[in-house]
Amino acid sequence: MFAFTDTRARVEVAFTDRHGGVSGGPHASLDLGDRSGDLDVRDENVDILAYALARGSAPRTLDDAFVLAPGSSSPPTMVLMRQVHGPDVHRVDRDWLASRQAAPTADGLVTDLPGIALVARAADCVPVLLADPDAGLVGAAHAGRNGMVAGVVPATVRALRELGAGGLTAWVGPHVCGRCYEVPEQMRREVVERVPAAAAETAWGTPALDIGAGVVAQLEDEGVHVVEVARCTVEDHDLYSYRRDGKRSGRLAGVVWVRP
């Protein structure tokens, strides 16, 4: 279920793999995507993940998926985005929670509320989790090629600083690596003009992009401490990858929250 976890004070971060859920077929089993017709399964997987976050561990079996130990925290409220590969960042506050009817259309989320888990989903793009543990402020961003160029990660950093964040840490989650992300030479030139650190070459010597390196450079330019979770989604079959599997691919997630 968890490809990576970390805890800083009351802030908890996690990146999921493809195991421990209820989706079947080529999307098995912890698919957190929102393909048409599978939303009930997606929602059940989101609930399984919420209970695992509250417990602090994956369930031993699906029969234990919704069991909490006595005295443990309630499952967090899970906030997903309608991701569109853009630069927009949405603040999750009490007014929005009271009135929300659908996932916000955005590629970045921030909040100062405990008990709210921000979710960025991906299947080769870069899920980025951010936190100021001392201030109890957290953010999540989904950065593909277009989102990186549009600056969604710096925008999420700025949104957190507008909330009062000081020292920020970012966790850069599993994504397609530069050795595997082949692109046309013209596309590489256009991207590298905006984000030079994204220049790369595939393992077989053709033009490529390293969106992870580009995102890390953007974070470092913003003065953010970076923790890299170096797993390539294309190479690691425990992770979902659209470039490897096409429409058969599910979605993994990066999740960050402040435990109450």
Residue 92 and residue 109 in contact, taking contact as beta carbons nearer than 8 Å: yes
Compute the distance between CA of residue 253 and CA of residue 246 in angstroms, rounded to an integer.
18
Residue 231 and residue 3 in contact, taking contact as beta carbons nearer than 8 Å: yes
- The CATH number of the domain holding residue 38 is 3.60.140.10
Compute the distance between CA of residue 257 and CA of residue 190 in angstroms, rounded to an integer.
35
Other beta carbons within 10 Å of 107 = 29
Give residue-wise pLDDT tens across range 44-64: 999 999 999 999 999 999 999
Residue 77: per-residue pLDDT? 98
Evaluated on CA atoms 245, 246, 252, 253, the torsion sign reads positive
Write down the pTM of the prediction.
0.98
Give residue-wise pLDDT tens across range 88-139: 999 999 999 999 889 999 999 999 999 999 999 999 999 999 999 999 999 9
Give residue-wise pLDDT tens across range 143-172: 999 999 999 999 999 999 999 999 999 999
CA-to-CA separations, 145 to 62, 124, 135, 211, 228, in angstroms, rounded: 36, 10, 31, 6, 18
Q: 172 forms bridges with which residues in the sheet?
A: 128, 228
Residue 37: per-residue pLDDT? 57
Could you tell me the residue range of the domain that residue 201 belongs to?
Answer: 2-258
Closest CA to 239 of 25, 13, 18: 18
Residue 116: phi and psi, rounded to 5, are -110, 120
Per the structure, the count of domains in the chain is 1
Compute the distance between CA of residue 210 and CA of residue 73 in angstroms, rounded to an integer.
38
pLDDT reading at 36 higher than 60: no
Residue 130 and residue 224 in contact, taking contact as beta carbons nearer than 8 Å: yes
